[in-house]
Structure 1
Amino acid sequence: MSEKTQREFDLVVYGAASFVGRLLTRYLCETYGVDKDLKWALAGRNDAKLKAVAEEFGAQDLPRIIADAQDGPALRDMAGKTKVVVTTVGPYALYGSELVAACVEQGTDYCDLTGEPQWMQRMIDAHQDGAERSGARIVHNCGFDSIPSDLGVWFTQQQAQADFGSHCEQIKMRVKAAKGGASGGTVASLLNVVDEIKKDPALRKVMQNPYAVAPQGMRSGVRQPNVQGPTFDKDANAWLGPFVMAGINTRVVHRSHALLGRPWGEGFLYDEAMMVGRGPGGALRATAVAGGLGGFMVLAALKPTRALLNKTVLPQPGEGPSPQAQEAGFYDLRFFGRTPSGETLQTKVTGDRDPGYGSTAKMLGESAVCLARDIGEKPGGFWTPSTAMGDVLIERLNARAGLSFERVS
């Protein structure tokens, strides 16, 4: 295991030929160049595809590394050459475990896009001690799952401390507006979670536990709010429907709180939902959103209807929104905070591209560069975006990645 300062690369993009991998490669080429200060390489299992990606973005001089997701020796060799591995190869429960193990063994920092809490819990439990020993900083959830939520809560708490000298005992995130599409990779990850629960029903308890990815010994707490049906929120002055990403984002926020030592109180509450309108029309839309999400999960769990969905509706791995759709996408997330003494505030996080892909690629790229350059002596272990990078990542995202973190009221 070599010292990080002596390694050949600052970062390696693993899965550069995947849908998001290509977006990430383009972003790094446009933002940091090929033959400049940032030393980086492309990696994956197919050299021809990597070469095609490099040629597409005028990056023929980028080194290429071949390593299959199940080839432990090749992954360890790759990890030993770089300070950071940033990976887009999912579903991570199927293709990510060997790479995490390799990075932990080599003391290599790591970030990904996963939204799979059951896999995260397995990785934390298997490798936390090893990461502490080797110095590897492992940071899951560095895309739309869950940077806007995790850093949005961090930012809101910072604002509360500055203005009121107190933390918020409750924060509610509400999706005010968003426009974007789904990729085959995201759908594959969701369907794999369904499959894992069918094989091991005990996983259902993991998926339902808001503290599931907190450190061992901190996986319980007060009952958390959870919008699953039509709900009217007075703070947002809108009807709410369930938000599909809440299942991962809320768990990441509670892991961050636990890693910080729970400074916002043992009774801290956090939930997420979508604002769908006011009046009778809003109530109807909230009902439709709740019914549609629940219906999809039922259909995805049944073999005949899943096959039909795959054939007629769902995007396949490697597919995703068009460049035009990515450019036209955006999101506006609102955070409503309340302190123990009743002071309230509202903040917002916005992004300028399709949330899951155009914006995610930029967030992932800045997370990888931040790990390589900005967090100094942070010890090894499994961190979250806010606890690993916090304000310095917010600065990067504001400056380069089209995000904004703002106080509203």
Structure 2
Amino acid sequence: MAATSADRLDVIIFGASGFTGKYTVYEAVSVLNGLRWGVAGRNREKLQQVLKEMGAKAQKDLSQIPIIVADVFDEASLLEMAKRCRIVVNTAGPYRFYGEKVVSACIEAGTHHVDVSGEPQYMETMQLKYNERAKERGVYIVSACGFDSIPADMGVIFVEKNFDGVVNSVETFIESGMKDGAPTDVGNAGLNYGTWESAVFGLAHADELRAIRKGLFPRRLPKFYPVLKQRPLMFRSTEVDKVCLPFPGSDRSVVMRSQRFLYDNDKKRPVQMHAYICFPSWLVAITVAFFASIFGLMAKFQVGRRLLLQYPGFFSAGLASKSGPSEAAMENSFFKMTIKANGWPKSDRLAESTDQYTEPPNKTLSVRVTGPNPGYGATCVALLSTALTILRESDKMPGTGGVLPPAAAFSKTSLISELEKHEHGMKFEILANK
């Protein structure tokens, strides 16, 4: 029997027995304090074990948290799960294989949905297929709600709110590492197997994006000048004094989708963006580039993908594993994203968003977004914070619903303030304003 609106839980964490899911349960104890939440997955015993384990870690009795059995291969169970809550927090990836049926069930049930996908093909396909239906049903579907897309996408919003002018372009420089004084035997924070699997199949099917984007955006944006040029393949950045490579994640695609939305809906000049990942030395950067080249080549062929998936530790130089990183490694890890913006002061603002500047940008702003345990602390807090924001501030979100990237959904909300409240959240700060 479907739950009445009064019986509905506020939040259900789906995929709670997975690696990301169980740490989302741990963070839910504090982030969702005061809300009615439950967990869902295909195995009740595993879910009970997660509640016991994470309850002990959080020093909280979670034995009364509702458990819902739902399986991605049983669409009826997904629909019943979606009907039992106001928002589904979906941690069950890779979303390319398992995400769409959950999204479809949520829209049918009139239930919001957030996830931590970093898979452009999945995210953009969901927008293409379900955006109009989500609007009709009054449902928000928001992906990329974790590290590293939240720091990048909401970081650009933070830049624009503090720029006091018009931003032409931003460059992001992301670093991660272990805290000073961390024990030498904890290993690295690394990736769990699901994240590695998503990366393998995402790269393998990257050529799908052109057709998806042609359907999603049949009308191209006008060109805005000056155009932000891509840096060299490998370079030393004066902004962070590190050796940098182009960042291979979904940050740029997520930010550009948000900027396109804000241009189409708010007539705001879109910010151009390029993303880079930083390393402490040329040797480390060259080594990473070497492994990345092998990864990219192997992902294009079925036999190569099979090897990558069978031996993640070997082909990632120990970064990915089927067991995931250790607790100690996660607790001692951190990330830092520096964002450098260029633009014009308020006094030079043009009358229309489509007008072109004749003078080069003459104003800069640098900001930084930082946080601990990026993969399974900051990510889980960000994911839950987006759910909380939808529940509390849907009146500040665009329209009545839709399939949206984070900044498009949350630019006018207090999401950044919410992220800054929590121990494993994120801090946004201004470094220099010239």
Please tell me the TM-score bracket, short chain as reference: 0.7 to 0.9
Calculate percent identity across the aligned residue pairs: 28
Q: How big is each residue's C-alpha offset from its partner over 1:31-58, in whole Å with a ceiling of 9 and x where there is no partner? A: 445xxx3001111111111121122223
For 1:194 and 1:4, how far apart are their aligned partners in 2? 43
After superposition, where does 1:150-161 map in structure 2 within 5 Å? 150-161=153-164
Residue aligned with 1:16, SS: coil
Letter of the 2:74 partner, please give it: D
Letter of the 2:118 partner, please give it: G
**TM-score, normalised by the number of residues in structure 2:** 0.81
Question: Alpha-carbon deviation of 1:362?
Answer: 1.4
Aligned residues: 384
* Pick aligned residue for 1:342 from 346, 351, 362: 362
Q: Structure 1 283/26 Cα, relative in aligned 2: closer, same or farther at 3 Å?
A: closer
2:379 corresponds to 1:374? no
Q: How big is each residue's C-alpha offset from its partner over 1:110-153, in whole Å with a ceiling of 9 and x where there is no partner? A: 10011111111221111111101000001100111410100111
Question: Alpha-carbon deviation of 1:326?
Answer: 0.9
Letter of the 1:13 partner, please give it: I
For 1:5 and 1:376, how far apart are their aligned partners in 2? 19
Could you tell me which runs of 5 or more consecutive residues in structure 2 were left unpaired when the two chains were aligned.
56-60, 179-188, 314-319, 345-360
* Partner residue in 2 for 1:365: 384
Q: How big is each residue's C-alpha offset from its partner over 1:89-113, in whole Å with a ceiling of 9 and x where there is no partner? A: 1111101111101111222111001
CA contact (8 A) 1:125 1:216 kept: no
Residue aligned with 2:263, SS: coil
* Partner residue in 2 for 1:65: 68
For 2:26 and 2:102, how far apart are their aligned partners in 1? 23
CA contact (8 A) 2:31 2:384 kept: no
2:260 corresponds to 1:258? yes
For 1:274 and 1:10, how far apart are their aligned partners in 2? 37
* Partner residue in 1 for 2:210: 205
After superposition, where does 1:34-183 map in structure 2 within 5 Å? 37-56=34-53, 57=55, 58-161=61-164, 166-179=165-178, 180-183=189-192
For 1:225 and 1:6, how far apart are their aligned partners in 2? 53
* Partner residue in 1 for 2:375: 356
For 1:259 and 1:214, how far apart are their aligned partners in 2? 15
CA contact (8 A) 1:225 1:269 kept: no
* Partner residue in 2 for 1:405: 428
Question: Alpha-carbon deviation of 1:21?
Answer: 0.5
Structure 1, 220-229 or 367-376: larger mean CA deviation: 220-229
Question: Alpha-carbon deviation of 1:320?
Answer: 1.4
Structure 1, 214-223 or 101-110: larger mean CA deviation: 214-223
Question: Alpha-carbon deviation of 1:219?
Answer: 5.5
* Partner residue in 2 for 1:299: 298
Residue aligned with 1:347, SS: strand
CA contact (8 A) 1:244 1:293 kept: no
Q: How big is each residue's C-alpha offset from its partner over 1:252-294, in whole Å with a ceiling of 9 and x where there is no partner? A: 111111111265535x3201112335xxxx4444433333212
CA contact (8 A) 2:145 2:406 kept: yes
Q: Structure 1 194/170 Cα, relative in aligned 2: closer, same or farther at 3 Å?
A: closer
Residue aligned with 1:368, SS: helix
Letter of the 2:405 partner, please give it: T
Q: How big is each residue's C-alpha offset from its partner over 1:207-232, in whole Å with a ceiling of 9 and x where there is no partner? A: 9xxxx499533565657644572134
Question: Alpha-carbon deviation of 1:327?
Answer: 0.4
Question: Alpha-carbon deviation of 1:183?
Answer: 0.7
Give the RMSD, CA atoms, in angstroms.
2.6
Q: How big is each residue's C-alpha offset from its partner over 1:137-194, in whole Å with a ceiling of 9 and x where there is no partner? A: 0110011141010011110111102xxxx12101000124445311101011112224
* Partner residue in 1 for 2:245: 241
**TM-score, normalised by the number of residues in structure 1:** 0.86
Could you tell me which runs of 5 or more consecutive residues in structure 1 were left unpaired when the two chains were aligned.
none
Q: How big is each residue's C-alpha offset from its partner over 1:291-311, in whole Å with a ceiling of 9 and x where there is no partner? A: 321222213334445444444
